[in-house]
Chain A
Amino acid sequence: MPKQTFILNGRTVTVDVNDDVRVLWVLRDLLGVTGPKYGCGINVCKACTSHVNGLAFNPCSVRVGDLKPNDRVTTIEGLADTAPGELHPMQRAWLEQDVSQCGYCQPGQIMAAVALVKRLRREGRELRDSDLDQIRNICRCGTYFRIREAIEQGARAMR
Chain B
Amino acid sequence: MGRHVTTFDRPDPSSDLHSGLHGDPRSGAGPAPGLRRRSFIGYVLAGSTLTVAADLGLGRPARAEVPSGPQVPELYDLEDLQTDSALPTSHLIRVVIEKDGTASFALPRTEVGQGIITSTTMILAEELDLPMDKVKVRLAKARPELLLNQLTGGSNTTFSTYTPIRVAGALARERLLRAAAVLFGTTVDRLFTTGGVVSDALGNSATYGELASDAASQVVEAVEVVLRPKEDFRLVGKPRNRTDAHDAVTGRKKFTTDLDVPGALPTMVCRAPTHGGTPKRLRNKAAVLALPGVTHVAVVPTGVAVRARTFGQCIDAIRQMEVDWNPGPAAGESDKTVLSKLRGGELPMAVPDVPLLAEQVDTRFTFAFRSSAALEPYAAIADVRPDRATVWAGLKVPILAQQNVAQAVGLPQDKVTVNVVTGGGSFGHKLFGDHAIEAATISKAMGKPVKLMWHRADEPRQGRLHPMATSRVRATMLGGEVLSFEQRHTSVTTDFSHGLGEMITSQADELDPIGLGGLSFAETIFSLTQELPYNFGVVTQLLNEPLEFEDVFSTGSMRNIYSPDTCVASELTIDQLARKAGLDPLAFRLKFLKNERVIAALKTVAREGGWGRRMPAGTAQGIAIHKEYKGCTAVLAEIDCRPQTVNRDLGKETVTGPRVTKVVIAVDVGLAINPRGLEAQMQGGAMDGIALTLTSSCHLRDGRFLEASWDNYFYTRQWNVPKQLEVHVMPSDSETPGGAGEAAVGSTAAAVACAYARATGRVPTSFPINHDQLSFKPKSFEPPVPPSPTNGLKLAR
Chain A residues with a Cβ under 8 A of chain B: 17-18, 20-26, 28-30, 32, 34-45, 47, 52-53, 55-63, 66, 75-77, 80, 87, 91, 94-95, 98-107, 110, 115, 119, 129, 132-148
Contact = CB atoms under 8 A, between A and B. Distances in A.
Contacts of A57: 792-793, 795-796
A95 B241 contact: yes
A146 B718 contact: no
B789 A141 contact: no
B455 A41 contact: yes
B64 interface: no
20 contacts: A20-B316, A22-B312, A24-B312, A34-B257, A34-B258, A40-B711, A60-B788, A61-B788, A76-B251, A94-B245, A95-B249, A98-B242, A101-B115, A101-B684, A104-B255, A107-B248, A138-B715, A140-B375, A142-B685, A142-B716
Given A40-B456, A144-B716, A101 B114 contact: yes
Contacts of B246: 95
B258 to A, nearest CB: 4
Contacts of A105: 375, 424
Interface stretch (B183-191, B613-621, B719-727): B719-727
Nearest to A90: B249
Q: Which of B293, B312, B790 has the most CB of A within 10 A?
A: B312
Most A C-beta atoms less than 10 A away, residue of B244, B790, B791: B790
Interface of B: 112-115, 241-242, 244-255, 257-258, 260, 266, 292-293, 309-313, 315-316, 373-377, 422-425, 427, 453, 455-456, 650, 653-654, 676, 680, 683-688, 709-711, 715-719, 721-723, 725, 785-786, 788-793, 795-797
A100 B245 contact: yes
A42 B790 contact: no
A98 B241 contact: yes
Given A21-B313, A43-B792, A56-B797, A144 B711 contact: no
A34 B252 CA distance: 8
B679 to A, nearest CB: 9
Contact of B709 (A21, A22, A42, A66): A42
Max count, chain B CB within 10 A of own CB: residue among A56, A87, A98, A142: A142
Contacts of A66: 790, 793
Contacts of B785: 41
Contacts of A60: 788-789, 792
A49 B687 CA distance: 22
Contacts of B312: 21-22, 24-25, 29
Nearest to B683: A145
Contact of A136 (B685, B718, B721): B718
Contacts of A34: 251, 254, 257-258
A135 B797 contact: no
A28 B257 contact: yes
Given A98-B680, A133-B650, A141 B113 contact: yes
- Interface-central residue, A35, A63, A91, A103, by most chain B CB under 10 Å: A103
A21 B310 contact: yes
Contact of A102 (B112, B313, B715): B112
A91 B676 contact: no
A133 to B, nearest CB: 4
The 3 nearest A-B residue pairs measured at CB = A35-B251, A102-B113, A142-B687
Contacts of A55: 796-797
Contacts of B293: 18, 21
Given A44-B709, A103-B424, A139-B375, A18 B680 contact: no
Given A21-B310, A43-B789, A138-B710, A100 B248 contact: yes
A32 to B, nearest CB: 7
Nearest to B375: A140
B792 A148 contact: no
A63 B790 contact: yes
Nearest to A60: B788
Nearest to A39: B375
